Structures are given as structure tokens and as C-alpha cells.
Structure 1
């Protein structure tokens, strides 16, 4: 990279609104009573907030075609920009705390702002500025006041992506940084478009070749319900459930109430199964974040959120209870002739996901 070029990490990628355009086009087709845009063979992916749809889609892409060099470079740009934005948010949080008596913060803040301004200057910046910025960020994070802000921030404690990036600053801010598979899975990017389509074309598994489109629909503002009738020819549905949120609630606009997250997922799954036009032949329910679920059970008993549960306060038993609840919902709507399969996994674990995806492929082909 020459000094006259903008560093990759300082460029902000343009927003991709192709999904929004397509959604508007389909609205027009619905008004005319016809639909001309539809994948020939596809699997529909559903899941509520925090269920891990984005990570699942990345795992599918890694397992299928993978990310080529230009795609990784673009993701590297996003990761580096996200890291700098996170630092700025931390600095904003420090403004609510009393002045640092040691004057370390003003000096570190000044150094950070100078480094970011220097690296953003298209006429003077170079790749040599990135190690300078990495050193400056680490010096800033070493200031006691900044440490205090980070330790007191519930958002930081709950954001595993930010924690991951903070632990890899020298590597992420290095010149010509290219994200690894783990970086792609662990780092948080901008919210995905409402509709995401990805080619599900994994390596052939003996007599089980597969070449289909995975269509993911985000659940917000009624968008997912609008698309349900358009997915009537899906070969199968994949529904993601975040087990680790068993003790949390989310707002339900239909009933204007706070609902337990797993119960909300049950309601969403029920609404999909009850759509008369959905003719899918197989349902796959993936209970995600099983590792976090097992860890949290040691602190928050499952019965606190599901008092009707009478089993042991152990991850496998509690997960089996959730599985049975979903299976009952699946059978209620007269779909006993269809197949349902369930898996407990961790979408961040590449080894587990390879096994899960392979089993899904075999199941879909059968």
C-alpha cells in the first residue's frame, strides 16, 4: 500500500441494500397476485434474536465455498473499523467518570486521536501507521480509568465479540491484516440485511450431493411473517434456538408483554408450523449455545424460569425437556408425516458445526 492510498481499515464499506430492493420488488409482485422470483430449491432458516443465525450462515459458507481473498479483505476492513469504533465508545463512557488525577487519560486520549487522525489522512498515511495505532490503543487500555470504565460496562461484559477483538489488537491492527476463520466467526459485523440468501453447496458426501439455497429471514417488523407464504415450497426449515437465554425475556409485540426467550421461540416455531401453505418435508431444530447453557445452569437453576420442569438441573436433561416441547408443537398441527430432527451444538465451534452440517445434509437428502 502506497502513502497516497487510504488504508483498508480506514475505509467504511458502502451499505448493501440489495435485500431491501428485492423485498420491495416482492411486495409489488404480491400486489399483482404473482411471484416470479423464487429459488428452485431452497431451505428456509429461521431464528429469533440472539439465536446465532449470522454465525450459522458464516459456518455454512465456510463449509461450502469458503471466503475468497477479496471477501476476507473486506471483512478485515469491517473488523478493524469496528475495533476503532468500540474504543471511541469506551472513551465516551469515560467522560461520565471524574477526571483522572494522574493526567494519564488526557495524554493517552490525545495520542489515540492523533494516531487515528494521522491514519485517516489520505495524503500522509501508510501501513507503518497501523502498528503505531495498535500500540496507542494498548497504551490507552492500560490507563486505570479506562480499565475502570471497561470493568463497569455491562455491554462490554456481555459482548464476547468485543472481548475477542480487544484480546487480538496487535494482530487485527497489523498491516495487511486478513481475518482467519475464527475471526470471521467471533467478530460482530453490521446487522445482516432482512433477507439473506447463501448457496448451500458443501463437498459431496458419497451418494448425498447437495446444491440448494439457504434463505434466512430476519424476524422484525412483521417481515418474517410477510415472507412465510413465499416459502411454501421450501424443502425444509432450519430453526435456531438460543438455549443460553432461558433466563431472559424479550418483548412480544403481538401480546404487548415480556415473554421468556425460549417460550417466545416456541411461539415463533408454532406460527411457522401452523401456516397451511408450508409444505416442507423436514424440520431441523438446532439448540445453539449449549456450552453457555450448561455454564449458566450452575448459577441459575432451570426451574426458576420453567417451574413446571421436574428433571435434574443438568444441561442434557434440561435441553431434552426443551426438545420435547418443540416436538409436541410440531405434531400438534398435523405434520406427523413430516420428519423432525434436533441437535444441540455451539455455532462458534467449527468442529461441532462440521459434524452438525454433515448430518443435516444427509438428513435433507434422505
Structure 2
């Protein structure tokens, strides 16, 4: 009569299987724990990608963020900014002189020797990479004489037609200080310098227990092909617009309007499938310049849908452009499954697709405090106090959202 039950070999196999199952469960728990820990660490690191057309003031926003969060400028960076002050000064005057010649605006005969003197000075470095020729006292004397010419001031009223940098009045107002022995740029000087952003730069700073990474990429058309490399793990997009650009041309295209370019660019980014769940911060920047030019440069000739009876009204003017950008945001999502949704992107804008690689889904901010999913701020990036208030609101918002998401992990 046979004995019922399992053989020793089958018992061994069952025990081995149970042991393997236990090891597998423990391994899975360890992996899941590691994933949760990584997610929590990631939510303490907030990546903000800064986008916008050239001349919007993105790099100035980045510089003021460094100042606000005590990320110091090195001696080498200060030396670079010192050279940049002189380069901006010389380049701005060269552009303005070229514009006067183009428009047939005559200069006083007494100014012509100074023009000749300045024309011999290049704002480019010498063969050794030095800018020492820019620091000569003769540069100050020539620049002062040229800026004082009535004809040049007439040309300045039309500077928007040639994308002459708006920092020129600031530079001329401080020219005596710039040529003092041992001059080192102060914070205000640094914020007023202008340089074309090329490539990709990252700036890190800490707000309480969260680490922020602000990624700045060039905004001019030739630089936009590089944007694709920055889209991974983005928590929010900070789109910066030159609010005063409604009557200005692009540096790279004098036939293109700055604000129209920004609208096209904003629409193309909003409508792309990769960013349908991404939070947007919209900085309508250079509010100070917008308010300054509004009394003498009406909006209607450049945007025919702006009511003529509202000309000169600062509040109605800025609200007009705020609504234009938000109107695009309200159409967000229309392009799902249709590539770019029929949007015509400005030249140079990268055409993204699902094949580009989907970034990690971005944090969604509280929609009750956003307009059409976009957080709008009017800013003056060269004014540190103004930016401090704005950026406190932005960082607190991001931190609160991060804490909410961490609670769900």
C-alpha cells in the first residue's frame, strides 16, 4: 500500500520557490522605496526653463536672481562685465550713428571729429582677446560729444527702427563713473549690460530646502535649435516678453516686430504636445520702458485692434497685451495629435514631435490662481526690488506645489 504525501524533492522545490518569492518581494520593495526616495529628491529640485525672443530680458532676470539669492559674481565675471559696459556703449553709439546716416539726419559739424575718433574704435577684442582700447579717456570724450549732438538725439527717437539697445541712456548718464580709475561694475551696471545669449547656461540657488535650477537659452532665431536639449524634467517654463517691444524690430530681422514674434513663439510652445501639462510663468518685462514710451509712441499703428481712444493709458495698454497672450493660452491643447496644431512658428523655432522624447510630466500649479493656466507678472528686471517681490511669489508657489505633490508620493 502506497504512502500518500509529497516526495522530499518536491518539498525542497516548494521551499526554494517560497524563498525566491520572498527575496523577489523584498527586492521589489527596495526598488519601490528607492523610486519614492528619488521622486521626493526630484521634487526638492525645481527646474525652470527660461524662453523668449531675443531682447526680452531673460538674461537680466537670471542676473537679478543671482543677486537676490546671494550667488556672487566672480572677479573674472566682474572683469567681463566691465568690458561689456564699454562694448555696449561703443556698439550702441555705432548703431545710432549708422541709423542717423541711413535716415539722412545731419550731425553738427563740430561733432564730426568725435565721430571719426569713435569710428576707429572697435567694440571687438584685439588679437589677444583684450578690450583695453575701449578704456581710453578719448573714448569718453568722443562719446560724450556725440551723445550731446541734437541730431543724434533726433535719431534716438527712432532707435526702435534699428534695434538700438535701450541701455544707451543709462550708460551715457554714468559715463564719468565708468572711466574712473579702478572702476568695478556695481549691481545696477551689471543689470543694465546686454549680451547675446549663446548656448545654454544654468544657475542654481537655494530657497529654504528646495534647490532651483534656472536654465537660460539664447532667444534669437539662430539659437532656438538648441532648445530641444533642455526640455527634459522641466517643472515650469518661464516665458519672458519685452512689453516695450510693440514698436520695435528684431535685432536679427528689422522687418519683424518684437511683440508679434513673441506671440508666435509663445503660441508655438503652448500648442506643442510636449508641453500640454507644463506650467507657464509669463513675465511681461520692461514695464518701465513701456510706460516711458507710451505717451509718444502709440500702439494702434502697430496693432490695429488696439482702440485709439485708449492711447497713452498705461493700464489699458499693458492689459491689451496681457489679454493677447492669455487668449493664446486659452486655446492650449487644440494642436493635440496635429503636430504643432496648425501654428506657424517663427523662423528658427525647433519643431518638436513625440519622437523628441517626452519630458517628465511637469508640476501643475493651482489653476484657481492662474489665468488660462498661465501665471502672469508685469516686471522690470533691472529693478531689484520689483523682481524680489515677483520672484518671492513665484518661488513660494513652486514650493507649495512641490510639497503637495510630495505628500502624494
User: TM-score, normalising length from structure 1?
Assistant: 0.66
Q: Separation in 2 of the partners of 1:188 and 1:215? A: 18
1:173 shift after superposition: 1.8
Greater shift after overlay, 277-286 or 237-246? 277-286
Greater shift after overlay, 300-309 or 50-59? 300-309
> Partner of 2:300: helix, strand, or coil?
helix
Q: Separation in 2 of the partners of 1:322 and 1:93? A: 29
C-alpha distance after superposition, 1:75-131 (max 9, x if no partner): 2233245546667888999999999977x966x799999999xxx9x9xxx9xxx7x
Residues 72, 278 of structure 1: alpha-carbon distance in 2 compared, 3 angstrom cutoff:
same
Do the aligned residues in 1 keep the contact of 2:53 with 2:219 (CA within 8 Å)?
Answer: yes
Q: 1:303 aligns with which of 264, 289, 300?
A: 300
Q: Separation in 2 of the partners of 1:250 and 1:139? A: 31
- Please list, as runs of the form range in 1=range in 2, the aligned pairs for 1:180-199 lying within 5 A after superposition: 180-189=186-195, 191-199=196-204
Name the structure 2 match of 1:57: 62
Do the aligned residues in 2 keep the contact of 1:161 with 1:187 (CA within 8 Å)?
Answer: yes
Q: Separation in 1 of the partners of 2:306 and 2:280? A: 25
Residues 148, 213 of structure 1: alpha-carbon distance in 2 compared, 3 angstrom cutoff:
same
Q: Separation in 1 of the partners of 2:95 and 2:385? A: 34
User: TM-score, normalising length from structure 2?
Assistant: 0.60
Q: Separation in 2 of the partners of 1:287 and 1:195? A: 22
Residues 93, 145 of structure 1: alpha-carbon distance in 2 compared, 3 angstrom cutoff:
farther
Unaligned runs of 5+ in 1: 1-39
Matched, 1:312 2:346: no
Q: Separation in 1 of the partners of 2:210 and 2:188? A: 25
Q: Separation in 1 of the partners of 2:185 and 2:333? A: 46
Q: How many residues align?
A: 303
- Please list, as runs of the form range in 1=range in 2, the aligned pairs for 1:58-73 lying within 5 A after superposition: 58-64=63-69, 65-73=71-79
Unaligned runs of 5+ in 2: 1-44, 335-363, 366-372, 401-409
Residues 251, 332 of structure 1: alpha-carbon distance in 2 compared, 3 angstrom cutoff:
farther
Do the aligned residues in 2 keep the contact of 1:236 with 1:280 (CA within 8 Å)?
Answer: no
Residues 167, 341 of structure 1: alpha-carbon distance in 2 compared, 3 angstrom cutoff:
same
1:230 shift after superposition: 4.6
Do the aligned residues in 2 keep the contact of 1:197 with 1:216 (CA within 8 Å)?
Answer: yes
Do the aligned residues in 1 keep the contact of 2:118 with 2:143 (CA within 8 Å)?
Answer: no
Residues 308, 151 of structure 1: alpha-carbon distance in 2 compared, 3 angstrom cutoff:
closer
C-alpha distance after superposition, 1:285-342 (max 9, x if no partner): 010112222233323433333333458342222322322332232232239x764210
Q: Separation in 1 of the partners of 2:83 and 2:214? A: 26
C-alpha distance after superposition, 1:123-161 (max 9, x if no partner): xxx9xxx7xx43x44544565898366446449954332
1:51 shift after superposition: 1.1
Name the structure 1 match of 2:215: 215
Do the aligned residues in 2 keep the contact of 1:232 with 1:279 (CA within 8 Å)?
Answer: no
Name the structure 2 match of 1:292: 289
Q: 1:45 aligns with which of 39, 46, 50?
A: 50
Do the aligned residues in 2 keep the contact of 1:140 with 1:146 (CA within 8 Å)?
Answer: no
1:241 shift after superposition: 1.2
1:181 shift after superposition: 0.3
- Alpha-carbon RMSD: 4.4
Q: Separation in 1 of the partners of 2:328 and 2:105? A: 51
Name the structure 2 match of 1:147: 149
- Please list, as runs of the form range in 1=range in 2, the aligned pairs for 1:131-280 lying within 5 A after superposition: 133-134=136-137, 136-141=138-143, 147=149, 150-151=152-153, 153-154=155-156, 158-189=164-195, 191-199=196-204, 201-204=205-208, 209-221=209-221, 223-224=223-224, 227-228=227-228, 230-248=230-248, 260-278=257-275
